Amino acid sequence: MLMRMYLRWTERRKYHADVLDVSPGDEAGIKSATIEIKGNFAYGNLKSEHGVHRLVRLSPFDADHARHTSFVLIEVLPEAEEKSDLQISPDDIRIDTFRSSGPGGQHMQKTSSAVRITHVPTGLIVTCQSERSQHQNKESALRVLYARLLELDIEKREAEKAKIKGKRIDAGWGNQIRSYVLHPYKMVKDHRTEYETSNTAAILDGGIDEFINTYLRSKVGEDKS
């Protein structure tokens, strides 16, 4: 549901989006997905979405149609620049190829040249199966891996500078930045800015600009104080 929301947002913005990888859930739905979004100020806007999102709804995957609460961790990474000092040694990565599986949908091409790259020192795993050729999937996966390694490097430097150990955000209670409540009432609320709306249908159809703008305005205010 949230993946569709962001894809609809990119369409509204006239951005270009590629679904690089989708992993189906153990029972239903989506376990994880990687989307590459290109456009002017794409990262500047989307960095406001980084964090835990909470969804409350009547689950379509439950035979009893019971109310369920789920959490999604959204990670937003800028495309790494080649001038960075960060290097990936060929000896540190393992590349596996496999046949694409699972539903593709209109945003994803089926391919028999899927690529999985494992960065052995950190255990990071990146997969890509959106392109027709193995070479293209490898390039896309390497870009994502590079961005994630760069993020880890930045977090490490910030942690050392602040003399504290970096703490990873858990996708669970108490950490959510935004809640999407579809039952028993309708409301989407950003817990950082307190901005909220009852028009959940418009939000889930990609109309998240006011949430983004409100958050970015709040950060400008903090920087001036």
CA distance 29 to 38: 26
What is the edge-to-edge ordering of all strands in the sheet holding 67-74? 67-74, 51-58, 176-181, 187-190, 196-197
- What are the distances in angstroms from CA 204 to CA 3, 42, 113, 127, 156? 9, 19, 32, 26, 35
Per-residue model confidence (pLDDT) at position 158: 74
- 78 in Cβ contact with 151 (< 8 Å): no
pLDDT for residue 132: 79
Percentage, residues of the chain above pLDDT 90: 60
Per-residue pLDDT averaged across 168-178, rounded?
Answer: 76
CA 82/CA 143 separation, integer angstroms: 10
Instruction: Share the mean pLDDT of the chain.
Output: 85
Q: Can you give the pLDDT at residue 58?
A: 87
Confidence of residue 151 (pLDDT cuts 50, 70, 90): confident
Question: Which element (helix H / strand E) includes 125?
Answer: strand 124-128
Q: Which phi and psi (to 5°) does residue 5 adopt?
A: -60, -45
Give pLDDT, residue 100.
Answer: 72
> What domains appear along the chain, each with residue ranges and CATH number?
2-79+170-224 (3.30.70.1660), 90-162 (3.30.160.20)
Joined tokens for residue 58: 């009547």
Task: Please report which confidence band the pLDDT of residue 164 belongs to, taking 50, 70 and 90 as the band edges.
Answer: very low
- Tokens (6 digits) for 37: 């979004």
Residue 106 predicted with pLDDT over 50 = no
25 to each of 11, 30, 41, how far by Cα in Å?
Answer: 26, 5, 32
